[in-house]
């Protein structure tokens, strides 16, 4: 019997990045609305409480965390571009500290629920901010919650497989465990993403060996993606034999996303979720990217319901209510693609 938890904190809905920014709080709000409205299976809701300053400084530098705290509470302390904050990608915004504290508190709780209370699946859709560096905001991410989830599980002596299907390479996670003896022994980082030749962050090539990388060409469709993903993921899982999987399930690999160029359908996306969900170990699921709010909320709420047992990946008919919004997204795609102001430029993002 699966024991499923959904973590959230409505405080997150108060805050937004800059008006022009493609990362919108609506994607999370719509996801939670759809889950509430359509889910039939049994799950428990938990409020993700903010982490303390001390907990937040476990990976990120104490000075960096203190700076986030200070600039939220006193804007006169804010210095444009310090620690990468104040760029178009990573704007200063009200809630910069509060939201970060909730993200870290959420993944700490997720790890505790997995280990201490044997939850089979713990979901936190606002998380998965896989780009943030130790002392730098990067790629729309201010704190790197996946790193905290990994550290907490390692601290519990668990062997962790981190799998990332976001369209962008998880450079912040790979960087956090670079040259760390734990990497490849008790932790394996695996990423399927659009090649750095075409998309931010411009890294994540096969030969970078901090993580198992599978760069994909623009236009990669369901068939090609799934064929490769199943083969690689099954092999990695069987050989590594993890105790826990952390899955970052960014929905920006879809054909409807406005920032990336992969070609997954909703059905293709859900089949990836199915492959991960069938592994018989406990899992933490983190949201990650997704810049078409309608598609992202369909994809995430459907992923949740698939794990819950409400729907099957291959049977879209069971998912018809979600698809109403999905079709709306399809109709508006051209408009969004033409009118979106911010597309990360590769040249600006190379380390
Ligand atoms: Zn992404």
Phi, psi of 277, rounded to the nearest 5 degrees: -65, -25
The pLDDT value recorded for residue 294 is 86
Rounded (to 5) percent helix, strand, coil in the chain = 45, 15, 40
Structure confidence by residue, pLDDT tens digits, 206-254: 989 899 999 999 999 888 999 999 999 999 999 999 999 999 999 999 9
Q: What is the mean pLDDT of residues 258-271?
A: 90
* Residue numbers annotated as active site: 131
The pLDDT value recorded for residue 141 is 98
Cβ neighbourhood burial of 155 (10 Å; 0-12, 13-18, 19+): exposed
For the cut 80, the answer to whether the pLDDT of residue 330 exceeds it is no
At 337, is the pLDDT very low, low, confident or very high (cuts 50, 70, 90)? very low
Give the sign of the dihedral formed by CA 208, CA 214, CA 220, CA 224: positive
Q: Are 165 and 67 in contact (CB under 8 A)?
A: no
The pLDDT value recorded for residue 276 is 98
Q: Is the previous residue joined to 11 through a cis bond, with omega within 30 degrees of 0?
A: no
Q: Which of 8-17, 23-32, 314-323 has the lowest mean pLDDT?
A: 314-323
CA of 322 to the centre of ligand 1 (A): 22
Total Cβ atoms within 10 A of residue 223: 10
Q: What is the mean pLDDT of residues 251-266?
A: 92
Beta-ladder partners of 263: 221
Residues 318-327: contacts with CB within 8 Å, 24+ apart?
Answer: 319/266, 321/37, 321/38, 322/34, 322/38, 322/298, 323/266, 323/298, 325/30, 325/34, 325/294, 325/297, 325/298, 326/266, 326/294, 326/295, 326/298
The pLDDT value recorded for residue 350 is 32
CA of 260 to the centre of ligand 1 (A): 8
Q: Please tell me the CATH code under which domain 4-349 is placed.
A: 3.40.800.20
Q: What is the mean pLDDT of residues 321-336?
A: 46
CA of 77 to the centre of ligand 1 (A): 30
What percentage of the chain carries pLDDT values higher than 70?
Answer: 89
Q: Are 150 and 162 in contact (CB under 8 A)?
A: yes
CA of 169 to the centre of ligand 1 (A): 7
Domain-wise residue ranges, the chain: 4-349
CA of 41 to the centre of ligand 1 (A): 29
Separation of alpha carbons 285 and 305, rounded Å: 13
The pLDDT value recorded for residue 347 is 35
Structure confidence by residue, pLDDT tens digits, 159-218: 999 999 999 999 999 999 999 999 999 999 999 999 999 999 999 999 898 999 999 999
Do β-strands 121-124 and 44-47 pair in parallel, antiparallel, or remain unpaired?
unpaired
The pLDDT value recorded for residue 110 is 98
CA of 134 to the centre of ligand 1 (A): 19
The mean of the pLDDT values for the chain is 89
For the cut 60, the answer to whether the pLDDT of residue 351 exceeds it is no
The pLDDT value recorded for residue 344 is 33
Q: Which of 171-185, 244-258, 278-292, 329-343 has the lowest mean pLDDT?
A: 329-343
Q: Which of 82-96, 142-156, 171-185, 329-343 has the lowest mean pLDDT?
A: 329-343
Q: Are 248 and 189 in contact (CB under 8 A)?
A: no
Give, for 56, the enclosing helix (H) or strand (E). Answer: helix 53-56
- Please give the structure tokens belonging to residue 320: 């018809």
Q: What is the mean pLDDT of residues 134-151?
A: 98
């Amino acid at each position: 019997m699966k024991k499923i938890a959904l973590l959230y904190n409505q405080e997150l809905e108060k805050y937004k990045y800059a008006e022009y920014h493609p990362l919108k709080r609506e994607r999370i709000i719509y996801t939670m609305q759809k889950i509430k409205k359509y889910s039939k299976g049994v799950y428990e809701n938990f409020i993700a409480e903010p982490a303390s300053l001390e907990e937040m400084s476990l990976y990120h530098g104490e000075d960096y965390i203190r700076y986030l705290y200070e600039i939220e509470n006193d804007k006169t302390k804010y210095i444009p571009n310090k620690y990468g904050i104040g760029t178009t990608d990573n704007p200063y915004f009200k809630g910069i500290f509060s939201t970060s504290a909730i993200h870290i508190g959420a993944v700490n709780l997720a790890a505790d629920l997995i280990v201490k209370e044997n939850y089979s699946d713990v979901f936190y859709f606002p998380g998965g901010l896989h780009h943030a560096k130790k002392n730098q905001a990067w790629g729309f991410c201010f704190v790197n919650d996946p790193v905290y989830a990994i550290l907490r599980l390692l601290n519990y002596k668990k062997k962790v497989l981190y799998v990332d299907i976001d369209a962008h390479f998880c450079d912040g996670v790979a960087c956090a465990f670079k040259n760390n003896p734990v990497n490849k022994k008790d932790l394996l980082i695996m990423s399927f993403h659009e090649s750095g030749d075409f998309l931010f962050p411009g890294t994540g090539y096969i030969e970078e060996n901090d993580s198992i990388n599978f760069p994909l060409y623009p236009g990669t469709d369901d068939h090609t993606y799934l064929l490769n993903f199943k083969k690689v993921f099954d092999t990695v899982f069987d050989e590594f034999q993890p105790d826990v999987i952390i899955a970052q399930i960014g929905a920006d690999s879809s054909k409807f996303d406005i920032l990336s160029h992969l070609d997954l359908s909703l059905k293709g996306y859900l089949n990836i979720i199915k492959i991960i969900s069938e592994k018989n170990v406990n899992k933490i699921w983190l949201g990650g990217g997704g810049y078409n709010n309608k598609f992202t909320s369909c994809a995430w709420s459907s992923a949740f319901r698939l794990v819950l047992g409400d729907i099957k990946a291959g049977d879209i008919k069971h998912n018809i209510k979600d698809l109403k919004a999905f079709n709306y997204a399809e109709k508006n795609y051209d408009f969004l693609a033409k009118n979106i102001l911010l597309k990360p430029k590769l040249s600006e993002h190379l380390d």
